[in-house]
Amino acid sequence: MLEIGIILGSTRPGRVGEQVAGWVLDTATRRDDAHYRLIDIAEHDLPLLDEPVPPSLGEYQNAHTREWAATIDACDGFVMVTPEYNHGTSAALKNALDYVYAEWNDKAVGFVSYGSAGGVRAVEHLRLIAAELQLADIRQQVMLDLDADFEDSSTFLPQDQHGDTLAALLDQLVAWSSALAPLRTTEH
């Protein structure tokens, strides 16, 4: 069975991303097409990239990097839950992406974003990064607006249509993760 990681891409105290990632996980775990699990980057305590060798070489020196690599390697695809900060993704998520390389390759990724403009600019930023990491980004995305989908910008109350959009995202993600499986079984 496919293993899909739902990456919570914010470490900010009081983050609303926990509510959003919880909604994604709750929705996903009602399906029987994959095993879904939450990956909270705040729990991995990754310092600002501190590996002396480029990640593309796979020569990880630090225990936290090797643990992060094992977490990412165990997944066949990802849903990245990202805030939008200053027209981009969070620095914490970008840092987590930069830590490893081959562990991301030939896997599918979908995006759930939130912000004053639905987080769309953060996702555009992530799509560029995904291409370099050889992640296949799916088209469908969930865009949550801080005014329309949150009460007082703090309590997550998604509009009904987002459930259908999330279902479509998960359908595409599972299909692409399955289609890419033969590439993950070959040596790079």
> Over the stretch 18-27, which tens digit does the pLDDT of each residue have?
999 999 999 9
pLDDT at residue 187 is higher than 70: no
Kindly list the domain boundaries of the chain, sorted by start residue: 3-181
Half-sphere exposure of 144 (CA within 13 A, CB side): 30
Whose CA is closest to 20, among 29, 36, 8?
A: 8
Q: What is the pLDDT of residues 115-164, one digit of tens each?
A: 999 999 999 999 999 999 999 999 999 999 999 999 998 999 999 999 99
pTM: 0.96
Assigned CATH for 3-181: 3.40.50.360
